Amino acid sequence: MIKHFLARQHLDQLFSVLSNAGYQVVGPTVKDNAIVFTELSHVEQLPWGRQEIAKPGHYQLTDTSTNRCFAWNTGPQGLKPWLFKPEQPLWQAEQTEQGLCFRQASIEAHPIAVIGLRGCDLAALKLQDQHFLQGPYPDPYYQAQREQLFIIAVNCAQSAETCFCVSTGDGPEATHSFDLVLDELEEGYLMGCGSEQGQAIFQQLTLGPQVSKDQLHTAQKQLADASQQQRQMPDEDSLLKLTENLEHPQWQDVADRCLACGNCTLVCPTCFCSKQESTSDIKLQQAEQVRLWDSCFSEQHGYIAGKLFRPEIRHRYRQWLLHKLANWQQQYGRSGCVGCGRCISWCPVGIDLVAEAQILVKGTPHEPTDR
């Protein structure tokens, strides 16, 4: 890919060109001491000179010695809430003189340009696309926003302690699904194009001077540094074998620590579970059906009248991990984990998915118990 140089002082041009092209810019900013994706109007809102310290059960922002705006890796949420909304009205019902009427909820989508997504975020996007768009019932709400999405990805120049995208094959380089991609250097950005829409934006920017060999080398070195990661998820074949070891004692061990709070599923960029809620007005004339994010850690997740299919935390943790790492492969052709590390840092008790998976793949097989 041919890279062009965008000087730091011209980053704001990117914002104005995107906005003139009709996009709402969405990107990272600091909010409540975390990196949060939000609608941005100017480059000063980016998290300049901020970096996260992420460890099991720990997430904290600190100042960096450099003046970069992409020196962090992840915040609690990536792209997921922008496409698969935490709360999505599905349809309305109304009691009219003609009887009960239903209508689809209005589809509210507008062009957004999201800046700062990483390799893991793009891998997660691909998986969410598969789930929401490529099944027998494409989701109209997801689809409408997905079609109006412009992506400016960033190659990671460093890794957080919790990152393990190298072992899942999803980072630290952004290799697909973007319109533009950036490497952040001290003096500015190396910019590459990934689509025609990207090209159209790119052409309106003040670029140059020509990218030097040194700059390319620095970008390569940054990626190599970011690839030095402490955690490694076991390979997919070993993960698939976890389905043969349903009574491994580690399931109980982790259940004794897990609070079943569901944080891990909420921050995970690939988790897609939802529940539906019905409401009506007090006169019982209008009713609405709303879809909300849900978690497999809730007891209700596997409930049908009179029966809880996963009554114990042990069953629910096992559902989360087995689905994510093994059954996902059978459903979507790859593991559902993209190595972002979010579930590790946002777990209140610091349960480390990678450490658990490593113990589980080593285990001795136990016979499954009949109910």
Q: Report the C-alpha gap between 352 and 102 in whole angstroms.
A: 45
259 touches ligand SF4 (CB under 6 A): yes
Q: Does 370 bind other proteins (CB under 8 A)?
A: yes
CB nearer to other proteins: give 92 or 232. 92
In Å, the largest CA–CA distance within the chain is 74
Residues 245, 215: Cα–Cα separation, whole Å = 49
DSSP state, 234? Answer: P
By C-beta, is 333 or 348 nearer to other proteins?
333
Contact 338, 165 (CB under 8 A): yes
Given 125, 152, 268, 322, the residue binding ligand SF4 (CB under 6 A): 268
Distances (CA, A) of 342 to 51, 111, 264, 354: 15, 27, 7, 12
CA distances from 135 to 127, 128, 131, 206 (A): 12, 11, 6, 42
Q: Which does 107 bind (CB under 5 to 8 A by kind): ligand SF4, other proteins, none?
A: none
Chosen from ligand SF4, other proteins, none, partner binding at 201 (C-beta under 5 to 8 Å by type):
none
By CB under 8 A, the residues from 83 to 112 that bind other proteins are: 90-91, 93, 95, 99-104
In angstroms, the first-to-last Cα distance of the chain is 56
Per CB under 6 A, the segment of 46-54, 92-100, 212-220, 336-344 that binds ligand SF4 is 336-344
Contact between 61 and 50 under an 8 Å Cβ cutoff? The reply is: yes
**Cβ of residue 133: shortest distance to other proteins, in angstroms?**
11
- The Cα–Cα gap between 120 and 269 comes to 9
Residues linked to residue 95 through DSSP beta bridges, in sequence order: 100
Which of 340, 357, 360, 361 binds ligand SF4 (CB under 6 A)? It is 340
Nearest in space to 129 (alpha carbons), one of 151, 108, 110: 151
Query: Residue 347 CB, nearest distance to ligand SF4 (Å)?
Result: 3
Annotate each residue in 316-345 with x if it binds other proteins (CB under 8 A) or - if it does not, as one string.
--xx--xx---x--xx--------------
CB neighbour class for 30 (10 Å; exposed up to 12, middle 13-18, buried from 19): middle
* 135 contact, one of ligand SF4, other proteins, none, CB 5-8 Å limit per kind: other proteins
Min. distance of Cβ 318 from other proteins in angstroms?
Answer: 7
CB 300 to ligand SF4: min, Å: 14
Q: Which residues bind other proteins (CB under 8 A)?
A: 90-91, 93, 95, 99-104, 131-132, 135-137, 139-140, 243, 246, 272-280, 284, 287, 289, 291, 294, 296, 301-306, 309-312, 314-315, 318-319, 322-323, 327, 330-331, 368-371
Which residues sit at the interface with ligand SF4, rule CB under 6 A?
Answer: 258-264, 267-270, 297, 324, 337-343, 347-349, 351, 353
